[in-house]
Structure 1
Amino acid sequence: MLRLSDLLKGEEGIITGFVDDGQPLSRLRDMGLLEGTPLRVVKFAPFGDPIEIKARGYYLSLRKSAARQIYIKRKSAG
């Protein structure tokens, strides 16, 4: 399965789920990152961490470890 951390700069996707690895997901949900939420990768900081995304009209920065917890369906062009 594809994860948010696998997307490249400029790519878009839709959240399909979350990794259930015992880590609390409430912080991600509090930021509005829910199943069905479309998002776009805006940029990566030096060394690739954190990742800046745009979701629900907001710019958010996520650590790569948090981005690995989010399953994504890549949005097809057109």
Structure 2
Amino acid sequence: MRTLNDLRRGERAVIARIAGVGGDEITVRRLHEMGFDDGVEVEMLHRGPVGGDPLALRVGSMVVGLRKALAGMIEIEAAAAFAEAAE
């Protein structure tokens, strides 16, 4: 499955789930507090200049900076595919 790290600039997707955190409930809670919830649309705005870290993402109506390590834990689906499944 694709993760937030796979998005290109300007591409949008929908969060499918947070995976690969190895039982780290604090990290999962922090991501949810920042708006990374299942079904929320995200858009890649910008990648940092050194190795593409950090990422600037639009999450719902907020802009959030996120390290690539955390972005790799957030699985996504194409925004169109999510909309079709909801119908």
Give the TM-score normalised by the residue count of structure 1.
Answer: 0.90
1:65 aligns with 2:74: no
Q: How many angstroms does 1:53 deviate by?
A: 0.3
Between structure 1 and structure 2, the one with the greater Rg is 2
For 2:32, the equivalent position in structure 1 comes to: 29
In the alignment, what sits opposite 2:53? 49
* Structure with higher helix content: 2
The size of the alignment, in residue pairs, is 76
Distance in 2 (CA, whole Å) between partners of 1:75 and 1:37 is 10
Q: Does the CA-based 8 Å contact 2:21-2:28 persist in structure 1? A: no
Q: Partner residue of 2:78?
A: 74
Q: Which runs of 5+ in 1 are unaligned?
A: none
Report the aligned-residue RMSD: 1.1
Secondary structure of the corresponding residue to residue 17 of structure 2: strand
Deviating 4+ runs (over 2 angstroms):
none
Identity %: 30
SS at match of 1:60: strand
> Unpaired segments of 5 or more residues in structure 2?
81-87
Shift of 1:38: 0.4
Q: TM-score, normalised by structure 2?
A: 0.81
Q: Counterparts of 1:55 and 1:27 in 2: how far apart (Å)?
A: 14
